[in-house]
A and B are shown apart, each in its own frame.
Chain A
Amino acid sequence: MSTAGPNFPNLVPTARSMSPGDFASKVFRSQSGVESRVQYGNKAFDKTIDLEYSNITETDAALIHDHYLACNGTLYYFGLPQKPKSGNETFHVNDESTSASNRYSAAPFGLRYRYAEPPQFNSVKSGRMSVTVKLIGVLDS
């Protein structure tokens, strides 16, 4: 695993989408067409989270920009604090704990995040910007 960067800025997004990733597995298919699947791991990976921040202040946009630089771009992994996950409290119950129902944070799944690609910053008007962030979940060793 690469170096850990600082936590993502604690900002509530305008919109968020998530894909839970998948487990490592391989499919074997015989000539008869019978399919066998072998699972190689018990942790899902490649979870993706897209965050949209519309019309936020330049100050908040700068937090995301500086965080990206502090993580050496897409290199370092980092934790996702509560506010980027807020808005669906039942779904994200026990996010900050080590509960098995934890769907986002590192423990107990060992899932961290890194930037899937550089964030996009769009200038809307003086003092306001919109930012799109794409994160990908990576398994911590």
Chain B
Amino acid sequence: MTYYSGKDGTLTYNGTQVAKVSNWSISATVDTLETTVLTESDRSYVPGLRTISGSATVFYYDNAPVSLLERVVKTAVVSESDILVIKLGWGTKLIQGSCIITSAELSCAVGEVMQASIQFQFTGAPTGVTL
């Protein structure tokens, strides 16, 4: 029996582990398609499309978040070459898949360590899941 905590968590992109990750989260949802017909009194559904998205916050220590930020924040246009394989790990567990970074934020405030926040969206099914 094992509890997991933040010290077990890792964030990896294209095989390279990101340093100084403060937190990450992931969310998976499935759309529902209604199949209720006129004679029924209770709504019925079938599964529709799945969406997996997540977010992470990384302290701006040396260049820790740069490789993630520069997928969006750059002079060139964002292209398919900016799709990353992101792996969220905790202990021996993981969720991995191809992702597009949909949001990149940098914040700098008095009295706080500078940090970067990213949001990402899976494209296609996860390529690896161990829960």
Q: Could you tell me which A residues sit within 8 Å of B by CB distance? A: 12-16, 54-56, 86-88, 124-125, 128
Contacts and interface: CB of A to CB of B under 8 A. Distances in A.
B34 interface: yes
Nearest to B31: A125
Interface stretch (B36-44, B72-80, B96-104): B36-44
B41 to A, nearest CB: 11
**Residue among B35, B38, B46, B49 with most chain A CB within 10 A:** B38
A54 B39 contact: no
Interface of B: 33-39, 46, 48-49
Given A12-B39, A87-B39, A128 B34 contact: no
A55 B34 CA distance: 7
Contacts of A14: 34-38
Nearest to A85: B38
Contacts of A16: 38
B38 A86 contact: yes
Contacts of B48: 124-125
Contact of A124 (B33, B36, B37): B33
A128 B46 contact: yes
17 contacts: A12-B37, A12-B39, A13-B37, A14-B34, A14-B37, A14-B38, A15-B38, A16-B38, A54-B33, A55-B34, A55-B35, A87-B37, A87-B38, A88-B38, A125-B33, A125-B49, A128-B46
Nearest to A15: B38
A47 B124 CA distance: 47
A12 B37 CA distance: 6
Nearest to B35: A55
Contacts of B36: 14
A14 B37 CA distance: 4
Contacts of B39: 12, 86-87
